Amino acid sequence: MPSKKIHLMIDDIPAFEVVEEALQEAELPLIIYYHGWQTNKNLAMTQARRLAGLGFRVCLPDAPNHGERHQPVSTVPSLTFWETIHGNLFEFEKIRDFFLKNRPNNGRLGVGGFSMGGMTTAALLTHHPEIDAAVCLMGTPSPKAFIDTTIMRRKEANIFLPSDYRDLMSWTPAYDLSAHPETLNGRPLFFWHGTEDWKIPINSVVKFVDENRNTEAGRNISLHIGVGEGHLLKIPTMEKASFFLKEMLIDRD
């Protein structure tokens, strides 16, 4: 069945709704999927079409500063990046509520994303128990680890970073899944990460999985490692993630 792409404005949030044409009025599980840094919702369409083909209604929002809301990247390192993730967190409930109120649904909700979108996904899990399953593709559950890497790399390269950088990032510990693994509460969480990912190193993901997969809260964590793979999302990974969400949100009745 062909999928349909519908352009939406959820107040001031531009988004695509992607759903199989024959299922537009069906009560489907919802997936909110977040794109990566300096990309946009259009570049997440391949993933969305695969999910829609499996029986999901998919929302692809443009993150703040991206796509239809594009803004120049600040010359202050990582300022726009973290503003964008923070904005995603602020906007999540507005997007969720729009679909739950205005589209047929069966009450099941999944969230996923690539890179920055994967970091958004992990952060959302700390505060939103209504998320039933999640997919983090080349993101990290540990903002602290990413911040530590940023500071180290900037110092090594002698690149400016505010002296009070950690204080400026003081909102992140509350959204750090690695610091609050109990909030996962047994929910299915799929990770895919390449061993050669330089942008978001795999170490923090492996550490989180090793520390939590044998706990009650982390019993449904699934880690898939791309040996020799870098920071690039490929079709086989999209398919694995899509089938994981299908198994967790559609096949489990």
Contacts of 90 (CB under 8 A, 6+ apart): none
Tens of pLDDT, residues 54-68:
999 999 999 999 999
The pLDDT of residue 40 is 97
Q: Which residue has the tokens 């024959």?
A: 22
Q: Which residue has the tokens 């009650």?
A: 216
Residue 1 predicted with pLDDT over 80: no
Tens of pLDDT, residues 228-237:
999 999 999 9
The pLDDT of residue 253 is 66
CA distance 45 to 39: 12
The pLDDT of residue 96 is 98
User: What is the C-alpha R_g of the chain?
Assistant: 17
Reduced to 3 states, what is the DSSP secondary structure of residue 137? strand
The pLDDT of residue 100 is 95
Most distant CA pair in the chain, distance: 56
Q: Residue 18 CA to chain centroid, in angstroms?
A: 17
Task: Tell me if the pTM is above 0.75.
Answer: yes
Distances (CA, A) of 187 to 73, 129, 204, 217: 35, 9, 19, 7
Average pLDDT, the chain: 97
Among 19, 33, 232, residue whose Cα is nearest residue 135: 33
First to last CA, the chain: 23
Tens of pLDDT, residues 186-197:
999 999 999 999
Tens of pLDDT, residues 40-99:
999 999 999 999 999 999 999 999 999 999 999 999 989 999 999 999 999 999 999 999
Percentage of the residues of the chain whose pLDDT score is greater than 90: 98
Distances (CA, A) of 221 to 200, 203, 241: 19, 16, 13
